[in-house]
């Protein structure tokens, strides 16, 4: 399959985010993640050996039955006139089984179809790995934003704490308000530590996607908040035929048909041929010998096997259609979630967050002048932080749903990528 499609999967490769990382570590982009996975993931090495094994099976399948050498000793060590070896008859012959009914061709075709099926399964696994790595990359980006929000919350609380201290000194607020802000700061510091641990975990999972246990990269560079237009659902339905699972079902249908042809080829009996030289010890003479044998009843013995393979072959189109309908339903569901995530992000980014910012400013000014309480100020500030987190989640969901659609359609979404 075209595993390169993931490289254009997201429009999230513009450098806009600089999380708290070691300055010595180079930042990482989605393209670098994909390259690392393709070059170092252990699963891809497994796929390579499975492909080699499939090639060996094909070579084995096209081999014909080998020649066999046969030595027969008759009239050896008997009684009476057959005592000793005086009447010994020695026969040396070569035997060969002639496979009729195109059995070799049928075996070869079956092996080749099975190899194609393995290739389809490997393509599916490869896409799964790339999609999972892309999702883990998004997870790191989201956790970086969460950590940034946590730092900003600490900064905001410190600013509020200074305002409260000034009011307490001026006798306009009770010292209890100052203590409340101090408690809120302590709780936020705990949340900050948790955000740091979450980021460390997501970074480790990302590194593990290409077989490493050390986080040698810096920040994940991406523009999480740049959402590209989405193709229509009809366009995606057309692309659904590229889904590796559907292609695998088509390959399984061809494998079933190849098994049926192999079973049908066994209706024709093989012929066992043998020829050689027979030596008669008593007169010291020799003669050529030849034999042929054909088993009877091959057609009746293979009847039920052919019927089984035929029934299994006939079920494959229905399995394909069942899978297609399941994928169609999944695509529709994910597409609706994608549209919802985009709508939610735009509402938060364009309307809700600007208003929340202004509300926080108004309440801060009102608190300074004594028009609003500390509780009202805290609620306004918390609302701003909450909607900013919702914006991050909505943007992250948008990109995750795009990854799932990309996995289902196995083709690029025609989005431009800025670097």
List, for residues 223-233, the tens digit of each pLDDT value. 999 998 888 99
Residue 168 maps to a domain: yes
Identify whether the C-beta of residue 43 lies closer than 8 Å to the C-beta of residue 130: no
For range 42-64, the mean pLDDT: 80
For the ranges 47-61, 85-99, 263-277, 402-416, the lowest mean pLDDT is seen at: 402-416
Is the pLDDT reported for residue 18 higher than 50? Answer: no
Q: Which of 145, 288, 150 is nearest to 225 (CA)?
A: 145
Domain contains 419: no
Q: Is residue 414 in a domain? A: no
Of 148 and 6, more confident: 148
Those residues with Cβ within 8 angstroms of residue 201's Cβ, 6 or more apart along the chain or in another chain? none
Average per-residue pLDDT for the chain: 84
**Residue 12: is its pLDDT beyond 50?**
no
Q: In this structure, what DSSP letter does residue 283 have?
A: T
Instruction: Give the pLDDT of residue 187.
Output: 92
Residue 283 neighbours by CB under 8 Å, 6+ apart: none
Higher-pLDDT residue of 240, 249: 240
Residue 139 lies in a domain: yes
Identify whether the C-beta of residue 308 lies closer than 8 Å to the C-beta of residue 283.
Answer: no
d(CA 232, CA 338): 12
Kindly tell me the sign of the dihedral angle through the C-alpha atoms of 392, 226, 128, 397.
positive
Q: Say if 370 falls within a structural domain.
A: yes
* The residue count for the chain: 419
Nearest to 395 by CA among 107, 19, 2, 16: 16
How many other CB atoms are there within 10 angstroms of residue 6's CB atom? 26
How many distinct structural domains can be found in the chain? 1
Give pLDDT tens digits for 276-316.
888 887 777 888 888 888 888 777 887 888 888 888 888 88
pLDDT at res. 398: 96
Whole-number pLDDT of residue 76: 77
C-alpha angle with apex 251: 246 to 255, nearest 5 degrees? 145
Residues with Cβ within 8 Å of residue 286, at least 6 apart in sequence: 277, 278, 279, 280
Tell me: pLDDT of 9 over 60: no
**Within-domain flag for 417:** no
Q: Say yes or no to pLDDT of 16 above 70.
A: no
Per-residue pLDDT at 419 exceeds 70: no
- What are the structure tokens assigned to 22, written together? 């070691």
DSSP character at residue 8: G
User: What is the rounded CA–CA span in Å between residue 383 and residue 53?
Assistant: 59
Which residues lie below 8 Å from residue 208, measured CB to CB, with a gap of 6+?
Answer: none
CB burial class (10 A; 0-12, 13-18, 19+) of residue 225?
A: middle
Average pLDDT over residues 229-257: 86
- DSSP state, 293? E
More confident residue, 362 or 125: 362
How far apart (Å, rounded) are the C-alpha atoms in residues 326 and 144? 35
Q: Judge whether 258 lies within some domain.
A: yes
39: buried, middle or exposed (CB in 10 Å: 19+, 13-18, 0-12)?
Answer: exposed
Residue 241: domain span: 3-409
- Measured at the alpha carbon of residue 33, what is the angle toward residues 28 and 34, in degrees to the nearest 5? 145
pLDDT band at 10 (very low <50, low <70, confident <90, very high): very low
Contacts of residue 234, defined as CB under 8 A and 6 or more positions apart, other chains included, come to none
User: What is the predicted pLDDT for the residue at 25?
Assistant: 76
- Of 28-37, 275-284, 348-357, the least confident: 275-284
Flag the least confident range among 33-37, 49-53, 141-145, 403-407.
49-53
What are 387-396's pLDDT values in tens digits? 999 999 999 9
Average pLDDT, stretch 46-62? Answer: 80
Question: What pLDDT band is residue 336 in, cutting at 50, 70 and 90?
Answer: very high
Average of per-residue pLDDT across 63-70: 84
Inform me whether the pLDDT recorded for 334 exceeds 90: yes
For residue 280, the domain's CATH number is 1.20.1600.10
- C-beta separation of 58 from 110 below 8 A: no
**Is residue 140 included in any domain, yes or no?**
yes
Residue 413's pLDDT is 37
């Amino acid at each position: 399959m075209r595993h390169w499609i993931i490289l254009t999967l997201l429009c999230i490769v513009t450098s806009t985010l600089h999380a708290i990382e070691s300055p010595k570590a180079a930042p990482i982009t989605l393209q670098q993640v994909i390259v690392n996975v393709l070059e170092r993931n252990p699963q891809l090495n497994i796929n390579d050996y499975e492909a080699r094994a499939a090639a060996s099976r094909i070579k084995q399948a096209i081999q014909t039955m080998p020649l066999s050498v046969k030595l027969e000793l008759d009239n050896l060590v008997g009684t009476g006139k057959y005592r000793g070896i005086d009447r010994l008859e020695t026969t040396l012959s070569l035997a060969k089984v002639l496979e009729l009914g195109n059995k070799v061709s049928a075996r070869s075709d079956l092996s080749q179809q099975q190899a194609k099926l393995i290739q389809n399964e490997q393509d599916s696994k490869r896409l799964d790995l790339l999609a999972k790595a892309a999702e883990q990359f998004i997870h790191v980006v989201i956790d970086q934003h969460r950590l940034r929000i946590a730092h900003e919350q600490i900064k905001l609380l410190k600013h509020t704490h200074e305002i409260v201290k000034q009011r307490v000194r001026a006798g306009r607020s009770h010292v209890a308000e100052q203590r409340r802000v101090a408690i809120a700061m302590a709780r936020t510091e705990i949340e900050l530590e948790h955000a740091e641990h979450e980021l460390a975990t997501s970074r480790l999972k990302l590194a593990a996607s290409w077989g490493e246990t050390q986080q040698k990269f810096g920040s994940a560079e991406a523009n999480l908040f740049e959402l590209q237009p989405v193709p229509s659902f009809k366009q995606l339905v057309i692309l659904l035929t590229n889904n590796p699972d559907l292609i695998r079902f088509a390959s399984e249908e061809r494998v079933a048909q190849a098994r049926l042809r192999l079973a049908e080829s066994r209706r024709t009996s093989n012929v066992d041929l043998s020829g050689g030289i027979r030596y008669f010890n008593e007169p010291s003479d020799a003669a050529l010998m030849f034999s042929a044998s054909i088993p009877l009843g091959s057609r009746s013995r293979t009847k039920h096997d052919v019927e089984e393979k035929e029934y299994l072959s006939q079920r494959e189109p229905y399995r394909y259609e069942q899978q297609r309908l399941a994928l169609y339903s999944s695509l529709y569901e994910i597409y609706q979630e994608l549209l919802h995530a985009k709508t939610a992000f735009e509402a938060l980014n364009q309307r809700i967050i600007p208003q929340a910012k202004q509300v926080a400013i108004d309440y801060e000014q009102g608190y300074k002048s004594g028009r609003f309480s500390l509780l009202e100020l805290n609620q306004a500030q918390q609302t701003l932080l909450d909607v900013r987190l919702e914006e991050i989640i909505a943007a992250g969901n948008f990109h995750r749903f795009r990854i799932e659609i990309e996995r289902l359609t196995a083709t690029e979404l025609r989005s431009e990528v800025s670097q």
